[in-house]
Structure 1
Amino acid sequence: MAIKIVEFHCVSPAAGAGAEQSLPLVYFDMIWLHSPPAETLYFYHTKYSESYFLETIVPMLIKSLSIALKYYLPLASNIIFPLTSATMPVARYADGDSLPLTIATSDADFPKLTANHSKTTHEFRQFVPQMPTAVYSSDNIKFKAATIQVTLFPNEGICVGVTDHHAISDGASLFSFLRTWASIHQSNCAGEYSVLDPFYGRDSVQESDKLSAFVWEQVKTSGPSFTRTISSPSHKVRSTFILSDGEMKKLKNGMSTFVAICAHIWSCLATSAAAAGEVVQDDVQEYLTSPVDCRRRLNPPLPENYFGNCLVFLRARCSHGRLKGDGGFLAAADAIAAAVKEAGQGILEGFKRKPESFSEWKSRNRVIPISGSPRLDPCARITDGEERLSMNVCIQIMMERLIFAREETVE
C-alpha cells in the first residue's frame, strides 16, 4: 500500500484578495493554541484515470481553491505566536502567502478503506497532509494555519485530507470554506457559485478584550502545538456504524437525536468494557464531553458566518455502574441532557476557570470526547458530483478500542 507524491503547490488567494489581513485571535481561539492540528479525511467515489485527474481535475481544483481563499484569507495565513512583545497572537496574511496543496496517488485498497468494517488507524496516516515546519525567531513562532492533500486512487476514488490548526477556526468556519470551494469547483470557476462571505468582526465578540487578555496570560507561558506526533499503535481501529431511521426512532422517544446517539454509545461502551478486558469499578466516574457552538448564545449574538472559534463544552458525568446497568441508556441520556442545558446557560460565567477545568478533564482516564456534527457537511461535490463516502463523520468518538462514525443525516 504505497503512496506517491506527484505535485506540490503553494496556492495563493486569487487576484482581488488584498495585500494584507491581520486577524486577532480572541479567547475562543487561544484556548486551542496548545492543541495539535485537527485532521479530517473525505473519501469520494470517482472513476478518474491518473492522466485525466492530473491533466483536467487538478488544475481546476487549484484554480477553485485559489478563488475560495480570496474570501478565506486566514486559511492562507501564518499564525504568529509572540515570544517577547506585549502583543497577542494573530493570524496574519501578507501578499504572497499561500496554502500548501499536495497532490498524490495511491494503490491502496479504496473499497476496504471506505467500508464500514474496522480498519487499523495507521492505514489512514499517509492521506493526512502534514503541516510545514514552523519558523522561529527571537520575537515569535510563525506557523501555517492549514494544509490540504488530495490523493487519487486510480479508477476508484479520491481522498481530500485537510489539516488545520484549531486556533484558526472551528468546524463551522472550516466547513463554510469547504462548501465555498466545492461550489466554485462545481461552477468550473465561472462565477456562478455560492459564497457565504465570512464575518471577521472581532469587536463583536462578547467581552473580547478582557477575556482575551486573561486567557493570553494563561497560555503564553508555553509554546503552541503545531505538529502531531503519531505512533500508529496497532490496537487502534476505525469503524463505521450506521443507525437506520427505525432504530433512531426507537432510541429517541422524545429526546433529541444528539442526546439519543451519545447516550446509546456511552452506555454501550460501558457495558462492553469488561468484554474488552477493562476492569472498572462501579463507582468510577465516566465523563462525556462535546463542543457546543455558541454563536447564537452570546450577547449580542454573532452571525452564523462568523469565522473563527465560538465553542463552549458540555461536560456530562455518570458512574460506570449506572451506565452499564439495565437503565444505562436512560442514565446516560439524563446526564447528557443536563449537560446540554448547563452549557447553554451563562456562556461566559466562570470562563476564567475554564482553561484549568479543560486541562483537568483531559487528564481524566475515562472521558469520551465527541467531535463533529451532522450540520457540518462540506458538500459532496468537490469532485464533479461524485458520491461522498464514510469519513465525513457526523459524530466521532476516538478511543483505544474504536472510532464510532455515523453517516446518515440526523435532524
Structure 2
Amino acid sequence: MDSLHHDLTVVEQIEVSPPHATIGCKSLPLTFSDIAWFAFPDPVHTLFFYDHPITQTIFIETIVPTLKQSLSITLQHFFPFVGKLAIFPTSTRIPEIRYVEGDSVAVTFAESDLDFNYITGNHPRECHKFYHLIPLLGSTTKVSDYITIPVFAVQVTLFPNHGIFIGMTNHHNLCDASTRFCFLKAWTSIAQSGGSDEPFLANGTLPIYDRLLKYPKIDESFVKNANVETFDEEYKLPRLSGPTNEVRATFILTRTKINGLKKLVSTQLPTLAYVSSFTVACAYIWSCATKVEKDELAAFIFVIDGRSRLDPPIPAAYLGNCVMPCFTLARTTILKSKEGFVTAAKLIGQNLHKMLSDKDGIVKDIGSFEE
C-alpha cells in the first residue's frame, strides 16, 4: 500500500470500464445549460459517509470487489460518466462528451487513520481535513486538434472499525445533481443486487440522451462566450488545497424549528404565496450569515431544476444539466435587523414564486431567444 497523504494510505488505484463491447463509440453534444458551467470551472465534489464498522480484511475482500463490479455494470448504462469531455479550439463546434471502447473511470480505494467521529460530527472541522477524501479528475490530454478531460472519478476510503467514505468528483459540464442522483440510485441498486442490473432495468429509469434542449443559436452563443479557443493541453481544473483557515460545520433545523419559522413568516406575511421549508431554511441561513458582514449588498443564489418547469417540460431522466439560477439581493443592514429573517423569507419566496409560476419565469419559452 502507498502513502498518498499523512492521514491516508492507498489500498488500490484502478481504472474501471464498462463490460467489453456493451456501449460502442458514442458522443453527447453539450447544450447551453451544460456549456454555461465553463464560467464556473470548479469541479463538483460530493462526499457520503456510512457508519459501517468493518475491518480492513472485510473491506478488501468484500466491499472493494462489490463496488468495482457494480460500478462497471452501472457505467454501461451511463456512458457519459466514463467518457471524456472533448473541447475544440473553435466557437463554431460544440463541445461534447465522447466515449470510445477502453475509456475508464479512475477509482481509488484507501484507508484513513483520521478520527471518524471528528470528521462526521456536527462541530466545526477544518476544511482541509476532507480534501484527501475527494478524488481528483485526470489531466487534460491533447488529441489531434482538440483536448479531452476526464469527467468523473471515485474514491472509497475505509476508516477501520468505524465506517466508509465514498467521494466523487465530476466535471460540472457532465451533469447536475438530478442526473448524479439517478446514477447513484442505479449504482446502489446494482450493488445491492450482487452486480445484476435486472432489478434496476425493471424498476429504474434509464437515462435519456436525446438533446431535448434544442436551441442551437443559444448553444453557439454560449460556446463563443466560453472562449474555448483558449483551451489547450495546459488547461487545468481548480483543485482543493490546504491547509486553510476555514472550517466546516453542520447545523440541524428540526421539523419543530422549521414549522415555527414557517408560522412566523405566514403570520407576518399572510399574502406571501411561497412559504416552504426550503424558503424559510434559506432565509434563516442568509439572515444569520450576514450578521458578521459589513454594510454591503448581499446575494443569495441557488439553482432550480428546470426539467418539469420548461415549456414544454422534459423528462426527469434527461441526462445533463438543466438548472436555472434564482438569486436575491438585499443590503446586509436590512438582513441583520430585527425583521431580517422575515425580510429574507419575503424576498426569497417572491423570487421562487416568480421563477416557478410566472410566465416571465423559468416556464417562459426559451425559444423566444432564438428568434
Q: Say what the alpha-carbon RMSD is for the aligned residues.
A: 2.1
CA shift for structure 1 position 17: 2.7
| Cα 1:235/1:348, change in 2 over 3 Å | same
| Cα 1:346/1:266, change in 2 over 3 Å | closer
Whether the 8 Å contact between 1:313 and 1:343 is mirrored in structure 2 is no
**Residues 4-403 of structure 1: pairs in structure 2 closer than 5 A:** 4-15=9-20, 17-34=22-39, 35-84=41-90, 86-137=92-143, 139-194=145-200, 195-202=204-211, 204-205=212-213, 207-219=214-226, 220-223=228-231, 227-253=237-263, 254=266, 255-271=275-291, 273=292, 278=293, 280-281=294-295, 284-344=296-356, 345-347=360-362
Whether the 8 Å contact between 1:60 and 1:185 is mirrored in structure 2 is yes
Identical columns (%): 34
Equivalent position amino acid for 1:316 in 2: T
Equivalent position amino acid for 2:231 in 1: G
Equivalent position amino acid for 1:170 in 2: D
Question: 1:85 & 1:137 partners in 2: Cα distance?
Answer: 18
Unmatched runs of 5 consecutive residues or more in structure 1: 355-411
Q: Which structure has the bigger radius of gyration?
A: 2
- Residue 325 of structure 2: SS of its match in structure 1? strand
CA shift for structure 1 position 101: 0.6
Question: 1:309 & 1:87 partners in 2: Cα distance?
Answer: 19
Whether the 8 Å contact between 1:84 and 1:140 is mirrored in structure 2 is no
Equivalent position amino acid for 1:73 in 2: F
Unmatched runs of 5 consecutive residues or more in structure 2: 1-5, 267-274
Equivalent position amino acid for 1:292 in 2: I
Equivalent position amino acid for 2:283 in 1: A
Question: 2:323 & 2:27 partners in 1: Cα distance?
Answer: 22
Count of aligned pairs between the two proteins: 343
TM-score w.r.t. length of structure 2:
0.87
CA shift for structure 1 position 208: 2.2
CA shift for structure 1 position 346: 3.8
- Residue 129 of structure 1: SS of its match in structure 2? coil
Greater than 6 Å deviation, 4+ residue runs: 348-352
CA shift for structure 1 position 209: 1.4
Equivalent position amino acid for 2:207 in 1: P
Equivalent position amino acid for 1:208 in 2: Y
Whether the 8 Å contact between 1:291 and 1:313 is mirrored in structure 2 is yes
Match of 1:375 in 2: none
CA shift for structure 1 position 230: 3.1
Equivalent position amino acid for 1:156 in 2: H
Deviations 1:370-393 (A, max 9, x none): xxxxxxxxxxxxxxxxxxxxxxxx
Equivalent position amino acid for 1:228 in 2: P
| Cα 1:108/1:212, change in 2 over 3 Å | same
